[in-house]
Structure 1
Amino acid sequence: MIDIQETSLSLRKRIVLAVILLVTVTSAIFAVAVWKIKVGLEEVVFGHMVDSQLELLRQATDDLSSIDTDLLNGWVLYAGSDLQQLPGRLQELSAGSYHSLSVEDQYLQVRVSGEGLDKVVLTYDITEWEQQEHWVLEIMLFGALLVLVIAAVSGVKAASTILSPLQRLTSSLNDIKPQQRGVRLSAEYNGKEVAQIAQAFDRYMERLDEFVSREKLFTQAASHELRTPLSVVMGATEVLESQPDIKSSSNESVHRALSRINRACHDMQGFMEVSLLLSRESAHPVESDEAINLSELVSQIIDEYRTQLNDHNIRVEQHFINEIPLYQSESLLQVIVSNVIRNAIQHTHDGEIQVIGSDTTLKVIDTGSGISDEHLSQVFDGGFSTRPGGTGLGLSLVRRLCDRLGWKVSIDSQVGSGTCVSIRFEHHKK
């Protein structure tokens, strides 16, 4: 099942954050620019006004200390002996213009002219302007917060609108069953941004459908075409076995050869049954009316591999605690068990293989080369093999058949110590 809930939430957050960040940065830049322009204009306007006023006073009289400052509303002139009354902060100022100096709960525009005894200080009270400026600043901050909230709400709505088609596509993909064929989605998303994704998925599904169709056709055709020559071989073997001279023959090699031919034909029939089962996704394994004795089946498979066991100098031990009656197709069981045992033989030299069975589990334990942790998670993947020249189909086939039967197969291994393949039977009783 496709799960993009986390991805959707993460993408939604990224969209919302992007909108908030964009709006916040833009608003902040605009507010700072307006603020800087306002402060700059005030500084220029008030500075020019105070300079002009001081110049007018100089033109009106040579003795600035004689001017009655009470006649100047909001203005204070310090000259001559009045300089001793200057607030402490203003006494240290050198000649120049100063904007918005905070002095005794007031904001002043200050102009200092001259030095020493000729020093003149003219101040203008701009407290009311500064209070309005602070109110404007508070309004701007409130507006920024309001814009931030609006941006967050807009971002959430925009994210929902953007992700809605993608979430619908995800839901449609999750609803597709493995056995469904001919599923196409792009027609539902024409004109939307996700249409390209849906079209790409449709192209992939089309190729997948063609591949599955070719595989099924090949499997069915191969199984059908193999039945005829296989029946001929089995019929010819039966004819040979019925011959009086062969029946009465004491030549064990002849009887053994005929027995191996019969067994090979039987195995081939089982393989065709397995192939047809796996080619039909909805098909269920055929159950047997009679219980299959697993210990006897294992003994038979080991006997078939006797030559390889002798070549690899492998000892085999069987331990069956309880009889295991399995009401499954003998062909399927034979394919599963033989692949597991064959895999153990291929990776073991001068060692031992133990086959341990109980009423719920079959374990095949070898003392072979083992499998590294790096490769252990890949052993059931089709086409993967740790053996040079290996096809990697054996354990993959075992996993697929066990999944179809509702059984659990697991593997545990350690490099240099060996491997244990465990098959847990479930729903095996009739």
Structure 2
Amino acid sequence: MHTTTTIVSDRSLSLRSRLILAIVVLVTLISSVFVIAIWEIKVRLEAVAFGHMVEEQLTLMMAAPEGPASLDMRLLPDWALYTGDALTGMPATFAQLPPGSHHSVRVDDNYYQVEVSTQSETPAVLTYDITEWENQEHRVLLLMVLGIALMLMITLVSAVKASAAVLTPLRQLTERIAGVQPQQRGIRLSAEFTGNEVGRIAQAFDAYLERLDGFVAREKYFTTAASHELRTPLSVVTGAIEVLESQSTLIRGDAAAGRAINRIKRACHDMLGFIEVSLLLSREEARPLQSASATPVKPLVEHLIDELQPQLAERNTRVTVAAEAPLQLDESESLIQIVISNLLRNAVEHTVNGEITVRIKQDALEVSDSGEGIPTENMERVFENSFSTKAQGTGLGLNLVQRLCERLSWQIELQSEPGRGTRVQITFHPR
């Protein structure tokens, strides 16, 4: 059996989740940029301040009357001056630095502001221990990171509450719309959602409902009027046929006239049945047509095949009826006839020089043919309205059959293989 399965997978985040995520990301970006900017400004200012201080101190030391070697560095516990022979004993990290100021140079666990003399004739390196400053900076940085984390938590809680407040009217509108039943008319929602942006959506939906109500009203009027106007002339024709049948002297001995009258009578009956089915499908609240007595399926199938004999002869196609069980249905004969006749006509239209088999089962009817089959690319569309592979086809037959089956809770199955034929089975489930 050919079946179509449509899986709708929406992996996108909900509107509420996207709103919360947007707020959290925005606050995170702003906070991070702010912290990075403050930190960069602090580092630059600190480098400039310490750089000037150490540079000036080195200039004063190098200008000492007795030379920098005469200075007592014990009076400056956080300072270290390397010049002359002392240059060979300073840490390798300092020896690799080019002339100029260098901020936050790490040696082991300590940090230094380093000034390398730019005077090549008297090389000197002055360092100032800023470890305590750097440790304080690290503590401040940790506090800033913790502050961002706390701000994110507060932002997340606030975003959840804010999104709930913002989206509650939208959720209520969604639930209200979902509760509107197709058969309800005159429903308006905007009065329930005044004073917020959702009210504009409700107003737009009300405008749509108003146009839809007008469309449904016009369709109901047309259906009712059309059925009334069609029933009247059909009743006149049926009455005229009954008068002709009562005048037996007019048609006695004229077999052709008798057959013509029977065909007209049958056509009127079929048209009245089609009107009833059309009303059933056009009104959602309409109940399926019931028959006063069970309708036997086999005689109906044989009658429909007899009416198709001219087309069958033209296409050199033979029809075989295999009744495996006596199948009777409680639905209207007109409804059952429309379903079976469309299946038979569809099989005849697609079969040339072949065979059609109708199997009547315990609770099912199967129509199979040896015709051209359905191309694989068209299998998904065979039940679509107005879809047909024939130039003169209307595409209404199988669509009508499917709609009736859905309305009556019957199951329709279709199998087809290009070049080898098609099989359609309808399983009748009691309601």
Q: 1:289 to 1:65 in 2, by over 3 A?
A: same
- Decide which moves more: 281-290 or 292-301: 281-290
What residue number does 2:3 align with? Answer: none
- Equivalent residue runs for 1:288-327 within 5 Å: 288-327=291-330
Q: Distance in 2 between matches of 1:218 and 1:117?
A: 110
- Decide which moves more: 257-266 or 380-389: 380-389
Report if the CA contact (8 A) 2:61-2:67 is conserved: no
- Equivalent residue runs for 1:68-79 within 5 Å: 68-79=72-83
What residue number does 1:226 align with? Answer: 230
What residue number does 2:33 align with? Answer: 29
Residue 116 of structure 1 deviates from its aligned partner by 6.6
**Pair 1:127-2:131 in alignment:** yes
Residue 117 of structure 1 deviates from its aligned partner by 6.9
2:105 to 101, 105, 110: 101
Report if the CA contact (8 A) 2:339-2:401 is conserved: yes
Deviation readout 1:366-398 (Å, 9 max, x if unpaired): 222322333323222322222223222222222
Deviation readout 1:209-234 (Å, 9 max, x if unpaired): 22222222112112112222212211
**Pair 1:81-2:85 in alignment:** yes
**Pair 1:118-2:122 in alignment:** yes
Q: Distance in 2 between matches of 1:177 and 1:312?
A: 48
Q: Distance in 2 between matches of 1:285 and 1:93?
A: 96
Residue 8 of structure 1 deviates from its aligned partner by 8.4
Q: Distance in 2 between matches of 1:45 and 1:374?
A: 78
The sequence identity of aligned pairs, in percent, is 52
**Stretches of structure 1 lacking an aligned partner (at least 5 in a row):** none
**Stretches of structure 2 lacking an aligned partner (at least 5 in a row):** 1-7
**Pair 1:381-2:384 in alignment:** yes
Residue 208 of structure 1 deviates from its aligned partner by 2.2
SS in 2 for 1:98: strand
Residue 56 of structure 1 aligns with an amino acid whose one-letter code is L
What residue number does 1:19 align with? Answer: 23
Q: Distance in 2 between matches of 1:273 and 1:75?
A: 107
Report if the CA contact (8 A) 1:380-1:399 is conserved: yes
How high is the TM-score relative to the length of structure 2?
A: 0.92
Q: Distance in 2 between matches of 1:159 and 1:363?
A: 56
How high is the TM-score relative to the length of structure 1?
A: 0.92
Report if the CA contact (8 A) 2:251-2:257 is conserved: no
**Pair 1:195-2:202 in alignment:** no
- Decide which moves more: 294-303 or 205-214: 205-214
What residue number does 2:155 align with? Answer: 151
**Pair 1:205-2:209 in alignment:** yes
Q: Distance in 1 between matches of 2:312 and 2:58?
A: 116
SS in 2 for 1:271: helix
Report if the CA contact (8 A) 1:16-1:159 is conserved: yes
Alignment RMSD, CA only?
Answer: 2.3
What residue number does 1:345 align with? Answer: 348
Residue 39 of structure 1 deviates from its aligned partner by 0.7
What residue number does 1:365 align with? Answer: 368
- Decide which moves more: 333-342 or 160-169: 160-169
Deviation readout 1:141-183 (Å, 9 max, x if unpaired): 1112222222332333333333323222221222122222222
What residue number does 1:245 align with? Answer: 249
2:258 to 231, 240, 255: 255
Q: Distance in 1 between matches of 2:206 and 2:112?
A: 75
Q: Distance in 1 between matches of 2:173 and 2:384?
A: 29
Residue 407 of structure 1 aligns with an amino acid whose one-letter code is W
Report if the CA contact (8 A) 2:364-2:427 is conserved: yes
What residue number does 1:280 align with? Answer: 283
**Pair 1:400-2:403 in alignment:** yes
Report if the CA contact (8 A) 1:65-1:82 is conserved: no
- Equivalent residue runs for 1:32-43 within 5 Å: 32-43=36-47
Q: Distance in 1 between matches of 2:350 and 2:168?
A: 53
SS in 2 for 1:291: strand
Deviation readout 1:326-382 (Å, 9 max, x if unpaired): 111111111111122122222222222111111111111122232233332322232
SS in 1 for 2:19: helix
